[in-house]
Amino acid sequence: MFPALFLPLAPEWEFTFYDVSNGHFPASVDECDAYLSTGSKFSVYDDEPWIHTLKAFVADLYAHQKIYVGVCFGHQLLAEALGGKVQKSSVGWCVGVHQFTVSGVQFAVDGLPLEGSYPQWMQPFQQNVNLLMMCQDQVQVLPPDAQVLATAADCPVAMFQVGQRMLGVQAHPEFTVPYEEALMRSRVERIGETKTQQGLESLSQPLDSALVARWIVEFVASRL
């Protein structure tokens, strides 16, 4: 899914895949120019050897100032690897389309956002973006030196950054609507009928996945 999301924007990128849940890890932090950790059926607080190893690897990436982007599980992993805390959310599952609002934006008298009040890699800038979500865990405590970049009504830490080279995004810009719908329908018993129905009804809303994909590409490319 991620190559399909990013290659139209960065056709020169090459992807190497690591099956970390089966013990396949990079030999060193220098094996790739940047790293992306995706979603997972596991929780980052599960007592699995590969999750402990992956947390240590992400902490090593931070120590070596490597570029990292975490999506959903990868977003939560970044928080826990650097000293934050992830738990099941009190609001339960977040599914379907949710609106993310970029934090701390200041506006000029003409109503345009002031440069410098939002990250410069968020180009073109848009304060509110609609993205697909599929999670019941959330970041509850940020790691030291982390900055919240975006919030959602049911997700206070919807996007955050640690330092200049590590980014977490709770939503799934890589998901398509048919894929999200299929996931919800397959998980009705876990999600609950009411939330599933609300999520299904939300799928008619327009998405900003392509824009957020462009932001992520710019975040990575500007740091290579």
Residue 108: partners with Cβ closer than 8 Å, 6 or more residues away: 114
Which two three-digit tokens encode residue 181?
């719908």
Interval 59-116: pLDDT, tens:
999 999 999 999 999 999 999 999 999 999 999 999 999 999 999 889 888 888 888 8
Q: What is the pLDDT of residue 91?
A: 95
Strand 137-141 relative to strand 146-152, pairing: unpaired
* pLDDT single digits (tens) 191-218: 999 999 999 999 999 999 999 999 999 9
- CA dist 36 and 17 (Å) reads 10
Q: Taking the complete model, does pTM exceed 0.85, yes or no?
A: yes
What is the domain count for the chain?
1
Mean pLDDT of 179-185: 98
CATH of residue 17: 3.40.50.880
C-beta of residue 1 within 8 angstroms of C-beta of residue 7: no
* Rounded CA separation 84/23 (Å): 24
Closest CA to 187 of 119, 135, 111: 135
Q: Mean pLDDT, to the nearest integer, of 109-136?
A: 93
Closest CA to 129 of 92, 103, 109, 163: 103
Residues counted in the chain = 224
Q: Which helix (H) or strand (E) holds 167?
A: strand 166-169
| CA–CA gap between residue 45 and residue 156 (Å, rounded) | 19
Full domain range(s) for residue 42 = 2-221
